[in-house]
Amino acid sequence: MTQCKDLFDNLVSLVEDRSNKPASGIACTLSSNQSDGIVSYATGRLQLIPAVTANPNAPSEGPAFLHQPARLEGELEQVFSDRVRMTPVPGSDFSGQNLFDAQKADRLKISITTEKFDDEKLLVTITWLTWGETSFTFSPQCVGGLLIGMGDPVGRNALQAFYTISFRY
């Protein structure tokens, strides 16, 4: 898990360094794949939400103690392999299929943070903004600068989806 903590700390440092620049934050791409063949692709920017600690001298689990770790958070536009747009093929009576129709995109919010009392463990929360703001959380693995993990599926025809999250510096 140290690999995940190192990746998260590096991303937070990059966002902090860019906080006064026009394109602040960091670019994020999320993809999903699941057993029913549905694939999704989402892009957007993540911003840093600083940690909040109230009364750090209080016992760590008492009512006067509040700690919310820093998180990277943002809204992404998501397109899907089963949302197809038919377009005419010039000089033909046929139409071509365009998968991942951008005119039928959804919005989601992603939040990446450390666990409240174990900062070596990352948590990813995805909230479907277009679908009634339902959300789910998973603890990713870190491989080659990517966050990967299993979570709720897109739609109702699969039990889970495999998620990959990448970042462009």
In the sheet that 39-49 helps form, which strands lie side by side, from edge to edge? 134-138, 118-128, 106-115, 71-80, 39-49, 26-34, 161-168, 146-151, 141-143
> For 69-128, what is each residue's pLDDT tens digit?
889 999 999 999 888 777 766 776 666 677 778 888 899 999 999 987 777 799 999 999
Q: Does the global pTM surpass 0.85?
A: no
Could you tell me the residue ranges of all domains in the chain? 2-168
Element (H, E) at 30: strand 26-34
